[in-house]
Amino acid sequence: MIDENLVKKLHYIEIKSRKLVNEMFAGEYLSAFRGQGIEFDQVREYYPGDDVRSIDWNVSARFNKLFVKEFQEERELSLYLLVDISNSQNFGTGDKTKLDLATELSAIFAFSAIKHNDKVGLLLFSDKIEKLIPLGKGRRHVMSILNTILTYKPQSKGTSIKNALEYIGRLLTKRAIIIVISDFIDSNYSKEVKLLNRKHDVILLHVYDKKEYVPPKVGFVTMEDLETGEQLLVNTNGKNFKNYFIAMMDNLSTVKDKFRKSGVDTVSIDTSMNYIPVLVNFFKERIRRR
Amino acid sequence: MNHLASKYFLFLYLILPLVIYFFLKRKKASVNFPTVRYIKQSLGDSKIVRYIPLSLRVIALSLIIFALARPQHGRTYERVTTKGIDIVLVIDVSGSMAAIDLQPKNRLQAAINVADEFIRDRGNDRIGLVAFAKYAYIQCPLTANHAILLGQLHRLHMGMIEDGTAIGLGLSSAVNSLKNSKAKSKVVILLTDGRNNAGEIDPLTAGEIASALGIKVYTIGVGSRSEVLFPYKVPGLGTRYIKMKSDVDEKTLTKIADETGGIYFRADNTEALKNIYKKIDNMEKTKIIVKKRSVYKELYAKYLILALIFLLLEFFVSKLIINRIV
């Protein structure tokens, strides 16, 4: 049985993200990830028929023979999407949950990648490694990635970013771009991020809900943790409660600062905001810093 | 007097711990939130607020169980049907009662004291009082008002009636005051220390009348069997004592008692007199129909109202202060 809603959702995501990819991020993706696009390969002797424009005059003058420069298209990139599907991702106070947002963002990156003939892979993780889809190309591959994110039922509720990073580090031999899409409600993962960033290009995409950081004031409320099921009665009007969230926001910006200093890019995207300008900004920033 | 009418409901308290356990174990309706575990780490659990609704509920439940056990405030009324027995005390106040063989003071005083005790013990009966010497007078008709009766009893003294001993008159006066009585049991207690020497009615005739009317006559002969001291006043010299032998007409008294179904007693000292009254008291006791009726006021409403208040409070706290998403 094919779930009609699912098909619709998939199509919607596909159309929306392909449109975005074609119209907004066409150049940005290339410049942000690819650089020049063509890279120098070697210099060889001129054979009749070679394009005269490619003659390297410096080398030819030195050897008193004609030499031409040979270029090669830059090697294709590998893009790995690490998507957090722990239970906390199922939180959202607007139309979208964090996981919905993560799916859309995954789609944008995946379609951008295949548009430029790059390979995309997917790793779904909770506190375990839930599902791995190896690198591949083509629209069908991307669709299967999106389908997996939408339909996969995680076996565990918790979050361990550390596990996922360690796993992907062992898995990848060649340099890749690793995009971690998560709410980052976890701890003890910064060391692994930095470690992985030495060899690969790690981008942390932080998806969050506004109410997570500014919860509404509604008096005493019993709250239940989405991952551990712990219950807690809190006074949401209380000073302590308010201070806690202020401290949490402060902590978030310090963590982001630290990552930026060690060369890891981070973007925070709210489930209710329009993420296109944020992404455009992010890409521009990346290009500028290069 | 407070008590519980259905106290077995108190066994419900045994399931209270189960209820508490259930409430504690049950997951509360809650809002899902991603970072609760971190909030808990840094803020801690506000336990007091958390247990307020539960405590209120448990208190309310306890009160309801207590109300189920039907607490009552009650008074047991013993005198609801006043169909006790009618008793007439006939007391000799002739001069011979001044003999000091019975203490305190003299025979009369001893008789009064014992009668006093007797009256106080028989709260449910109508009692009358007849005094006699040469004549007989009804000092107090049958009454349930024992306060008045006791007042009259203590007013008895020697010399209030001309000296003499009209046992027949005394007894017939008593019988007269009992004749209209509708009590199941009618009793005369006749106390004397002499022999009939006055009055127009023979004691035996009076006894027969009593017997015919279904009146029981207990007769008490007072006085030591040996010689006793009588006081008499000598002008200018004060009180002197003279030795005399007391003369109780035991034969007639026994006959009257036998004829009417009573008993003749001989009281030769105070202790004996007391015992005689006690005996009569006991003998007549079995025939008293004392209906006990207890009137109880149910108190459960108070507890239920209190329980309701606690439940409302719980509702307030848990629905309005502690927001529960149901």
Provide the token pair at A107: 């789609």
Q: State the pLDDT confidence band at B2, using cuts at 50, 70 and 90.
A: confident
Count structural domains, chain A: 2
The answer to whether the Cβ–Cβ distance between B35 and A212 falls below 8 Å is: yes
The answer to whether residues A57 and A82 belong to one domain is no
pLDDT at B72 over 80: yes
The answer to whether residues A123 and A177 belong to one domain is yes
The answer to whether residues A190 and A233 belong to one domain is yes
The answer to whether the Cβ–Cβ distance between A227 and B322 falls below 8 Å is: no
pLDDT tens per residue, range B170-198: 888 888 888 887 777 888 888 888 778 87
Nearest to A183 among B34, B37, B321 (CB): B34
Write down which residue in A50, A73, A96 finishes a domain: A73
Going by the DSSP 8-state scheme, the letter that residue A76 receives in this structure is P
ipTM: 0.71
The beta strands (E) that lie in B30-84 are given as 31-33, 71-77
Q: Is omega for the bond preceding A277 within 30 degrees of 0, making it cis? A: no
The answer to whether residues A181 and A58 belong to one domain is no
Angle, vertex CA B56, rays to CA B51 and CA B61, nearest 5: 125
The answer to whether the Cβ–Cβ distance between A221 and B38 falls below 8 Å is: no
The answer to whether the Cβ–Cβ distance between B46 and A183 falls below 8 Å is: no
DSSP element (H, E) containing A272? none
Closest by CA position to B107, among listed B168, B193, B170, B219: B193
Angle, vertex CA B207, rays to CA B202 and CA B211, nearest 5: 150
**Res B71: pLDDT:** 87
The bridge status of strand B126-132 relative to strand B136-143 is antiparallel
Chain B residues with CB inside 8 Å of A93's CB?
A: none
The answer to whether residues A192 and A219 belong to one domain is yes
The residue with tokens 């009966």 is B125
Going by the DSSP 8-state scheme, the letter that residue A175 receives in this structure is -
Q: Is omega for the bond preceding B104 within 30 degrees of 0, making it cis? A: yes
Q: State the pLDDT confidence band at B165, using cuts at 50, 70 and 90.
A: confident
Distance, in angstroms, between B8 CA and closest chain A CA?
38
Chain B residues with CB inside 8 Å of A233's CB?
A: 45-46, 49-50, 322
Chain B residues with CB inside 8 Å of A231's CB?
A: 27-28, 30, 36
Residue of B nearest to A224 (CA): B32
**Res A115: pLDDT:** 85
pLDDT tens per residue, range A152-180: 999 988 899 999 999 999 998 888 899 99
Return d(Cα B63, Cα B10) in angstroms, integer.
Answer: 11
Chain A positions touching chain B (beta carbons under 8 Å): 88, 91, 183, 185, 212, 215, 218-228, 230-235, 240-241, 244, 247-248
Any A CB within 8 A of B38 CB: yes
The bridge status of strand B2-4 relative to strand B71-77 is antiparallel
The answer to whether the Cβ–Cβ distance between A223 and B39 falls below 8 Å is: yes
Distance, in angstroms, between A230 CA and closest chain B CA?
7
Domain chopping of chain B, boundaries: 2-76+294-321, 86-285
Chain A residues with CB inside 8 Å of B43's CB?
A: 234, 240-241, 244
Domain range for A43 is 38-73
The answer to whether residues A144 and A279 belong to one domain is yes
Please tell me the pTM assigned to this model: 0.58
Q: State the pLDDT confidence band at B60, using cuts at 50, 70 and 90.
A: very high
Nearest to B49 among A91, A226, A233 (CB): A233
The answer to whether residues A97 and A163 belong to one domain is yes
Closest by CA position to B64, among listed B52, B56, B75: B56
Concatenate the DSSP letters of all residues of A112-127 into one string: HHHHTT-EEEEEEESS
Instruction: Give me the amino acid identity at A231.
Output: Q
Chain B residues with CB inside 8 Å of A85's CB?
A: none
Chain A residues with CB inside 8 Å of B39's CB?
A: 223, 232, 234, 241, 244
Spatial strand order of the sheet with A177-182 comes to: A129-136, A119-125, A78-84, A177-182, A201-208, A265-270
Find the mean pLDDT for residues B152-168.
Answer: 84
The answer to whether residues A124 and A201 belong to one domain is yes
Any A CB within 8 A of B319 CB: no
Return d(Cα B274, Cα A177) in angstroms, integer.
Answer: 119
Closest by CA position to B123, among listed B96, B93, B162, B87: B87
Q: State the pLDDT confidence band at B289, using cuts at 50, 70 and 90.
A: low
The answer to whether the Cβ–Cβ distance between B28 and A235 falls below 8 Å is: no
Any A CB within 8 A of B24 CB: no
Going by the DSSP 8-state scheme, the letter that residue B201 receives in this structure is S
CATH code at A165? 3.40.50.410
A249 vs B162, more confident: A249
The answer to whether the Cβ–Cβ distance between B27 and A91 falls below 8 Å is: no
The residue with tokens 């009650």 is B74
Q: State the pLDDT confidence band at B312, using cuts at 50, 70 and 90.
A: very high
Find the mean pLDDT for residues A126-145.
Answer: 92
pLDDT tens per residue, range A242-289: 888 888 889 889 999 999 888 888 999 999 888 888 888 888 888 777
The answer to whether the Cβ–Cβ distance between A222 and B324 falls below 8 Å is: yes
The answer to whether the Cβ–Cβ distance between B38 and A218 falls below 8 Å is: no
Architecture of domain B86-285: 3-Layer(aba) Sandwich (3.40)
**Res A124: pLDDT:** 95
pLDDT at B286 over 50: no
pLDDT tens per residue, range B78-89: 654 555 688 888
Q: State the pLDDT confidence band at A181, using cuts at 50, 70 and 90.
A: very high
Asked if residues A128 and A86 have their Cβ atoms less than 8 Å apart, the reply is: no
The answer to whether the Cβ–Cβ distance between B43 and A234 falls below 8 Å is: yes
A194 vs B118, more confident: A194
Chain B residues with CB inside 8 Å of A88's CB?
A: 34-35
Q: State the pLDDT confidence band at A187, using cuts at 50, 70 and 90.
A: confident
The answer to whether residues A68 and A134 belong to one domain is no
The answer to whether the Cβ–Cβ distance between A222 and B322 falls below 8 Å is: yes
| Sequence-ordered alpha helix ranges (H) in chain A | 4-23, 26-29, 57-63, 98-115, 139-151, 161-171, 190-199, 210-213, 239-261, 275-289
Any A CB within 8 A of B33 CB: yes
The answer to whether residues A140 and A60 belong to one domain is no
Main-chain phi, psi angles of B143, to 5 degrees: -150, 155
Find the mean pLDDT for residues B139-147.
Answer: 85
pLDDT tens per residue, range B249-268: 788 888 888 888 888 888 87
Residue B73's contacts (CB-CB under 8 Å, 6 or more residues apart) are B1, B2, B296, B297, B299
The answer to whether residues A175 and A193 belong to one domain is yes
The answer to whether residues A106 and A242 belong to one domain is yes
